[in-house]
Amino acid sequence: MNLKPLAEQTLVITGVTSGIGLTTARMAALQGARVMLVARNENALQSLADEINASGGQALYTIADVADKPALQAAADKTIAAWGGFDTWVNNAGVSVYGRIMEVPEEDFRRLFETNFWGVVNGSRIAVDHLRGKGGALINMGSEASDAPIPLQGAYTASKQAVKGFTDSLRMELEGDGVPVAVTLIKPTAIHTPFPEHAKNYLPYEPKLPTPVYAPELVAEAILYCAEQAQREFFVGEMAKLNSAMARTMPRLYEKMNESLLDSRQNSGKKAAALRPDSLYETHSQLQQRGAGERVVLETSVYQQAKLHPFLTGALMMVGGAALAAWYARETYPFARAKPAKRLAATLK
């Protein structure tokens, strides 16, 4: 499937005022794409649009809760009116709740699904309606939790597994009908964003992301790669691939390991704040790309570089393999350690 170069594209991105969405919007604009910014907080949207336009990019915004399909349709209509349409739609908006499943109120479960699942359904249907005649890309934000359940984030895990099922089914239907829309599911591991700070929390402590934590720029890079190169799915971070494989092939081992680390891996060591704002029902006006606090953040991923640059990686592996083989031969066989002239003389005797 042929997709346009990013510099020739118009993107609609939801959830752009923090974390992965914010990083992706900025990166897309820097690479020449026109960007329709979609989120709930007008002050944050205005600030981001002004920032992008002032730096030479092209950005418009629409205030919309992704759970509100008419509001989301308005974002599509505004993009079509301003730029003649869009080429890639990114369903990124998402929220989370920390807490044991039996202790999280039902209304919070439902609200989370309105955003994380129904927001993806709404955006996907709007995007496909527009793209089915011209072609393009639909990119949905999943998670390693789409394959590998995360305790204490049961509602979030359930929503991301629902997103995976929906995305995979939609892809098969569109491919079966010959519709030229590339449908991709992005599956990041723990990413250094305000995710824990923005989540609603029912734990007695402030939650944290488990290590290792990766930079949000890696997810943005993956999203924009998939806007140009059709991909079925894209794991971000080695741990996403590892956790997915373990949960699929050794489910009981995966579960037992996570049960034994139930609290420790997500416990910041700080007591939960009494009055704590969250993004489940509220919005944030601050443009915050990364999470709070000092963390060791992995700024690159060997797995991702191999995915993005397979031929270069293959060549480097071949060179490395040849060098390793030569070293092994020199260390193992005395004949191989001899100088070339001596080897030749020995051969001629």
- Residues known to be catalytic: 156
Q: What is the largest CA-CA distance in the chain?
A: 88
Residue 22 to residue 41: CA distance in whole angstroms: 13
The Cα-based distances of 316 to 115, 301, 309, 320, 323 in angstroms read 43, 16, 11, 6, 10
110-113 contacts at long range (C-beta below 8 A, 24 or more positions apart) = 111/280, 111/281, 112/155, 112/156, 112/159, 112/280, 113/155, 113/158, 113/159, 113/162
CA-nearest of 31, 30, 81, 91 to 60 is 81
CA-nearest of 163, 146, 151 to 102 is 151
Q: How many CB atoms lie within 10 A of CB 232?
A: 13
What DSSP line would sit under 124-189, residue for residue? HHHHHHHHTTT-EEEEEE--GGGTS--TTBHHHHHHHHHHHHHHHHHHHHHHHTT--EEEEEEEE-
Q: How many CB atoms lie within 10 A of CB 177?
A: 9
Residue 99 to residue 291: CA distance in whole angstroms: 20
Would you give the DSSP letter of residue 32? T
CA-nearest of 223, 197, 186, 219 to 297 is 219
